[in-house]
Amino acid sequence: MLDLGSRLPLPARHQPGGWLTALAPMQDVTDLAFMQVIAHYGAPDFFFTEFFRVHAHSRPEAHILRSIDENTTGRPVFAQLIGEDLNFLERTTRELLRHNVAGIDLNLGCPAPKVYKKNVGGGLLREPAKVGQILAMLRENVPGLFTVKMRIGFSDTENFDRLIDLVNEHRVDLLSVHGRTVKEMYRSEVHYDFIARAATRAQCPVLANGNVTSARRAGAILAETHAAGVMIGRHAIRNPWIFRQCREQFSGQAVTRITLADVRDYVTRLYAATRSPEIPERNHVNKMKKYLNFVGQSVDGSGAFLHEMRRTESEIELFTVCDRHLLGDPSREFSPEPYPGVIARPNCETPESGTDGCSLETITH
């Protein structure tokens, strides 16, 4: 008989007893450098690595391990896995548990067709029986925290309640719910009613994920869903102060106002943190443009910054555009919400690359 009440306590949070905050795992984004930059502006309670791919010949990817082994953020990092084979998942879990992980997280959400066609990530949501086997195996092999990140279904929500029941049955310690189906990718409305349903039905804390655009929205989404906290992805790329602002919002303090000069500081810090000697300048500028596609959503309502930024080809051009738009009126507010109609298109920075994951190449909004 399973003891449904024996979940482990989560790591200490910034605000004891308060709502949780987490940085969403993002492939090619949430590496060591990015986590350090986020921590500088106000760390979330928890970090999650981008997914470690698990297959017959996989070894935990060295660059992802760095975000665990060299973590100086002061906050715990969960290691996320994507895969479906029980033996390979068990092997990888054993390997990852030798590192200083806060816990092991299972990806049940990646919507990239090349991923779900292999029946991993979001593809698994079509097969609750298989999900049950994986959860049972991971629960048995993870003595510490075992967490799950899921979407609300594959093409519909038929399996949703069954999946939450499996989460309960296998004593998952924390559940992050991205309130979209796999087929809805990244652009549809978020179904917060399903996050609310998860928060009621699941016996573990639930993190609400999907379009948590600002501290104010985080407060409203928590009031609507009764989730235990928020997980934030793209809007933390746009606004790395968002976790600190959430804590201010949650504790009833005035939310820090961010200026365009603050954003200029963020650009410099991000550029330096993500630069590595083996990447040619032009490639690094293109990588920066992917982050700045999100930042640009809050710089001006006409999209002028985005328009000019996307055309830059060198470091000097990029910073000249940043100076013009961010230091012309440095005390102007960086909008807490994205301006309506200003769309991030990070995939425009590289030609269609046939990527097989959730990287910025596949995300358009």
Enumerate binding residues for ligand FMN (CB under 6 A): 24-27, 29, 50-51, 80, 107, 109-110, 149, 178, 209-212, 232-235, 358-360, 363
Please give the structure tokens belonging to residue 249.
């919002």
| Residue appearing with tokens 């989404």 | 221
Q: How far is the CB of 334 from ligand FMN (least distance, A)?
A: 18
Least distance between ligand FMN and beta carbon 76 (Å): 17
Greatest alpha-carbon span in the chain: 66
Instruction: Between 47 and 334, name the residue whose CB sits nearer to ligand FMN.
Output: 47
Q: Write down the catalytic residue from 110, 204, 322, 358.
A: 110
Q: Which of 188, 195, 196, 148 is nearest to 169 (CA)?
A: 148
CA angle (20, 17, 77) in 5-degree steps: 40
In whole angstroms, how far apart are CA 352 and each of 134, 191, 261, 342, 346? 33, 29, 34, 22, 11
Pick the closer one to ligand FMN by CB: 148 or 326: 148
In the chain, the N- to C-terminal Cα span, in Å, equals 45
In angstroms, give the least distance from the CB of 324 to ligand FMN. 27
CA 75/CA 329 separation, integer angstroms = 35
Q: Which CB atom, from 29 or from 172, has the smaller least distance to ligand FMN?
A: 29
Residue 52 bridge partners (DSSP)? 81
Find residue 209's DSSP bridge partners.
Answer: 178, 231
- Selection from 241, 211, 249, 221 nearest residue 333 by Cα: 241
Q: State the nearest-atom distance from the C-beta of 214 to ligand FMN, in Å.
A: 11
Contact 23, 208 (CB under 8 A): no
| CB 105 to ligand FMN: min, Å | 8
Structure tokens at 211: 């379009």
Least distance (Å) between residue 80 CB and ligand FMN = 6
110 given a catalytic annotation: yes
Decide whether 55 or 332 has the Cβ nearer to ligand FMN: 55
Write down how long the chain is.
Answer: 365
- To the nearest 10 degrees (0 to 180), the angle between helices 260-274 and 315-326 is 160
Query: What is the distance between the alpha carbons of residues 303 and 354, in angstroms, rounded to a whole number?
Result: 28
Pairing between strand 145-151 and 174-178? parallel
C-beta of 80 vs 326, nearer to ligand FMN: 80
CB 53 within 8 A of CB 64: no
Would you say 229 or 319 has its CB closer to ligand FMN?
229
Positive or negative: CA dihedral 5, 18, 249, 145: negative
Helix (H, G, I), strand (E, B) or coil at 176: strand
To ligand FMN, the closest distance from the beta carbon of 115 in angstroms equals 10
Nearer to ligand FMN, 79 or 326 (CB): 79
Name the residue with the smallest CB distance to ligand FMN: 233
Active site residues: 110
